[in-house]
Structure 1
Amino acid sequence: MTLPARAAALVPAVLLASLAGTFGTPAAHAARAAGAHALPSVNMEATVKAAQIDPRRPDSTLTPGAKAGVLLVEQALRDRRLLDARWVDGYFGSTTVTAYARYQKSLGLTGLDANGLPGRASLAKLGAGRFTVTGAIVPGGRVPVDGFVVNSRTRSMLTEAERLLGRDLKLDQGSYNPGGDPTSAGTHDGGGAIDISVKGMSSAARTAAVRALRLVGFAAWLRDPRQDDWPWHIHAVAISDPDLSGQAQHQAGDYYLGLNGLAGRGPDDGPKVTIRTWEEYRRG
């Protein structure tokens, strides 16, 4: 074979080798298959936020950033015959909360694990083959603080608030306390809810404590005897804690809507800060 002929014969071989190197490897095949079958994602942070706020809204305004994920959750609930198709609208209102609680109970979950707020495990099971879960929120195990029980997420938030404030805060009531103080109306039955003593604090110190708690992700208010039959204290709810009781969920939602978390739903009377969850605070 002449030199020019040999060169001409080599060109297709070189091209084929190049193409095979680019497209024919097992890794390349796997990447193409993954791209073809990539699942959408549900951001748990945004979805839980909507599940707290939407049931408390006076209208059907959607929670910003949550619609896509909520729709995926509602579609999955619809396909399990737990939610009527007319409620598949991206709005995580009370009907969707109830449907999600039914789904949790269908998994054999009870109590706080069936409170209607999407938890990491139940959300992953609902999304099997349909969507993946991002932005997971983990309350962590139960730990002691000042002789009371909270979860590790709440303890971390409290520790950071104390660092910002430059002083320790002492609890008057912790979480997971069903049947506790009847004036709490069930807010402490689940996780994420604490009451803090303000004994010996000046008015300015009380306000500073509420501000620090709000900065790290608590819905926090200063309570006084004029509001109800209780002593002065700070009531705080860890926003987006998946273990929140129904009543605490409502308080978190009201906080987002500029309300005081009481039954009368009056205007928020605490220091104004940018509302952020613990996860958002940690990301800066």
Structure 2
Amino acid sequence: MAPVTTTRSTTTRSTATRNRATRLLTAAAVLSGLLLSAAQAHAAPPPSPAGASAAAAVTTLPVVDMEATVLAAQIDPRRADNTLTPGAKDSVLAVEQALQARNLLDARWVDGYFGTTTIAAYAAFQRSLGYSGLDANGLPGASSLAALGQGRFTVTHQIGPGARLQRDGYTVDTRTQNMLTEAERLLGFRLTLDQGSYNPGGDPTSAGTHDGGGVVDINVDGMSSTTRTAVARALRQVGFAAWVRNPTQGNWPWHIHAAAISDTDLATQAQNQTGDYYLGLNGLANHAADDGPRIPIQTWEQYQRTH
């Protein structure tokens, strides 16, 4: 009889153990379910269709390349035809469409060509923001371009003149100073200014080119013809429209005149000079052929990306 009792007792204990295991597994499953439900309850809801559409709209805004746009605003007004500045069409179109939306530009001028009509419309927009003087010169500046593009386009490759500083007793902006410093590095000697920037009416023979930023005259006293040409070439290499000027061209002594391409503080007259430079002209009122060293034309920003 003892063996039978022992067997029943063992069987009973095994059954009890299985029951406890089953209860533990059930409890664990219930707890897991509760935790999952709680996590789902606190999870962020999926974006609404309206929210998804808004996000998509942000990512599909046109992109305006500021470098290309500013370049077009210098070259296009000087062209004898409606040839577009390479690489600028889409950016200029986005800017013109935004100007049209503000009733500042007629639809017929929304063509990707940043001509005089678009310059005037952009200057009107700058004035509507409360800007005046150089800040309303028709060249897109970083702040005005951002304001115009609000909700319509984003801006890439932003540029600007930087703060004003003193060099050789004259005022220049930081961008111009950096360009001169790099030209000096290429030449291996220092350049001295005969005239700086932001000098409205300071030299009537300059026809207003020095009224804004980005324009300087280089002293060439003691330089040979070869050295003068080398200086003009170095200035062109770093992004200036630069010419050796001589007394037969106007009421001035020998000097090198240099206008920093795409300086957004350029006076209108200097904008015209940089545009003429791209079109193979000498930047003077006679619109004669460029008489300086011919090298591939580039802006300061383009130079920096390759050096």
2:73 is equivalent to residue 37 of structure 1: no
User: 1:34: how far off?
Assistant: 3.6
- Is 1:267 the counterpart of 2:294 in the alignment? no
Structure 1 residue 33 displacement after superposition: 5.9
Matched with 1:11 is: none
Structure 2 residue identity aligned to 1:41:
V
Q: Distance in 2 between matches of 1:151 and 1:70?
A: 26
After superposition, where does 1:137-152 map in structure 2 within 5 Å? Answer: 137-152=159-174
Give 1:148's aligned amino acid.
Y
SS of residue matched to 2:304: helix
- Say whether 1:210 aligns with 2:252: no
Q: Secondary structure at the match of 1:73?
A: helix
Deviation at 1:138, TM superposition (A): 1.4
Instruction: Give 1:179 shift.
Output: 1.2
State the match for 1:171 in structure 2: 193
Work out the CA distance in 2 between the residues paired with 1:26 and 1:193.
Answer: 58
Which residue of the other structure, out of 52, 68, 73, is the alignment partner of 2:90?
68
Do residues 77 (structure 1) and 99 (structure 2) align? Answer: yes
Q: Which residue of 2 aligns with 1:242?
A: 264
Number of the residue aligned with 1:126 = 148
- Which residue number corresponds to residue 253 of structure 2? 231
Equivalent position amino acid for 1:211 in 2: R
* 1:269 CA displacement: 0.4
* Residue in structure 1 matched with residue 6 of structure 2 by the alignment: none
> In 2 relative to 1, CA 36–205 (structure 1 residues): closer, same or farther, beyond 3 Å?
same
Matched, 1:102 2:124: yes
Distance in 2, matches of 1:144 and 1:210, equals 22
Matched, 1:191 2:213: yes
Give 1:20's aligned residue. none
SS for the counterpart of 1:37 is helix
- Distance in 2 separating the partners of 1:179 and 1:36: 48
Q: CA deviation at 1:40?
A: 1.3
Structure 2: where are the runs of 5+ without partners?
1-35, 37-42
- CA positional deviation for 1:37: 2.9
Distance in 1 between the 2:46 and 2:135 partners? Answer: 40
Distance 1:33 1:172, change over 3 A: same
Q: Which amino acid aligns with 2:186?
A: L
CA change 1:137–1:31 in 2 (3 A) is: farther
Matched residue of 2:265: which SS? coil
For 2:76 and 2:47, the matched residues in 1 are separated by 44
- What is aligned with 1:117? 139
How many angstroms apart in 2 are the aligned matches of 1:254 and 1:201? 27
| Cross-structure match for 1:93 | 115
Q: Distance in 2 between matches of 1:258 and 1:68?
A: 25
Q: Give the alignment's TM-score, normalised by structure 2.
A: 0.82
Higher Cα Rg, which structure: 2
Match of 1:14 in 2: none
